[in-house]
Amino acid sequence: MKKIYLFAALLFGAGLLKAQPNDLLSLLGEEETTDYTTATFKTTRIVNGHSVENCGEGVLDFKISHRFNTLRNGLYDMFGLDGATIRIGLDYGITDRLMIGAGRGGREKIIDGFAKYKILRQSTGKRNMPVTLTYLVDAQVKTLKFEDLERDNKFTSRLFYTHQLLIARKFNERLSLQLMPTLVHRNLVAAAGDKNDIYAIGVAGRIKITKRVTFNAEYYCVPAGQIENYANALSLGFEIETGGHVFQLHFTNAQDMNYKGFITETREDWFFKNSEGKTLSGVRFGFNVSRVFTLKKPKGLK
């Protein structure tokens, strides 16, 4: 009889597994699991532009950024280190999906502020989402004194706006790529042939070299016919994590760290020829330093 009961139990169990696999997976909790991708990029910036990453809820990120002069004068000005453009900023996570921030740059004394919302998160499992999608809106005001005090200078001439979609995918633990369609609006332009609305497309990537070191690349292309005198911004560099700090060391041809600046006002390519036919370089060294402070305890912690 024991053998009969054992056989019947095995037969019933096999039939249950075959007839109701979804119910069993549900009981085990596997069907309800959604695995969200984390650390597509290490910080909220790739080089000049934003990444899809946000500060966590209650987390404050203090950033100091420098862009030095070009390298081409050599030792005369210490390969550009004698001069620098500086930006100091603060980013704060309202929620895990919503982040705000503000900063001030030395060149043109620009004050910028932004809001950034993560619409979609890359995930697998019950919810399969192939990419992370973030929307960024950024406003900038130039506080530099007007050059010509005789003209009818308007405050609105100081204002600039940026709208950007950040679309990123983490392919594996080492490789992440991001696409950035961008619109920059300038109330006042420098030349009559320049457009107020500038459309650009950015691409960026991150390759993990070691546990704490990555290689980052960022490129913004402005299609022809929108600006009379500009160069596309290309930045290459390394990102180093040291506990509470993240250091980004890079080479770029962009002097500014605000969207209006590095997308529409980069003037020199990495390599170009001057009017005399001599090959020059517009490359400059720069760095970002990020320090994170947790101002609000995560949910569940006392």
For residue 151, the SS3 value is coil
Query: pTM for the complete prediction?
Result: 0.85
Percent of the chain with pLDDT strictly greater than 90: 68
* pLDDT tens per residue, range 232-255: 999 999 999 987 789 999 999 999
The candidate with the shortest Cα–Cα distance to 116, out of 88, 142, 92, 90, is 92
Q: Whole-angstrom Cα distance, residue 34 to residue 37?
A: 10
Of 33-37, 48-52, 90-94, 176-180, the one with minimum mean pLDDT is 33-37
Mean pLDDT for the chain? 87
pLDDT above 80: residue 70 = yes
The b/e string for 113-122 (b: 16+ C-beta within 10 A; e otherwise) is: ebebbbeebb
Question: Which helix (H) or strand (E) element contains residue 283?
Answer: none
What Å distances lie between residue 229 and 67, 70, 191, 226, CA to CA?
Answer: 21, 18, 9, 9
Q: In this predicted structure, what is the pLDDT of residue 29?
A: 52
Average pLDDT, integer, range 194-221? 96
Q: How high is the pLDDT of residue 105? A: 93
Taking only the tens place, the pLDDT of each residue in 135-170 is 999 999 999 988 777 787 888 989 999 999 999 999
Quickly state the pLDDT bin for 277 (edges 50, 70, 90). Answer: confident
Residues 6+ apart with CB under 8 A from 53: 39, 40, 41, 42, 43, 44
Dihedral sign for Cα 66, 71, 73, 77, please.
positive
Q: CA distances (Å), 228 to each of 25, 267, 269, in order?
A: 62, 10, 15
- In this predicted structure, what is the pLDDT of residue 13? 44
Q: Who's near 139: CB < 8 A, 6+ residues apart?
A: 112, 113, 114, 159, 160, 161, 162
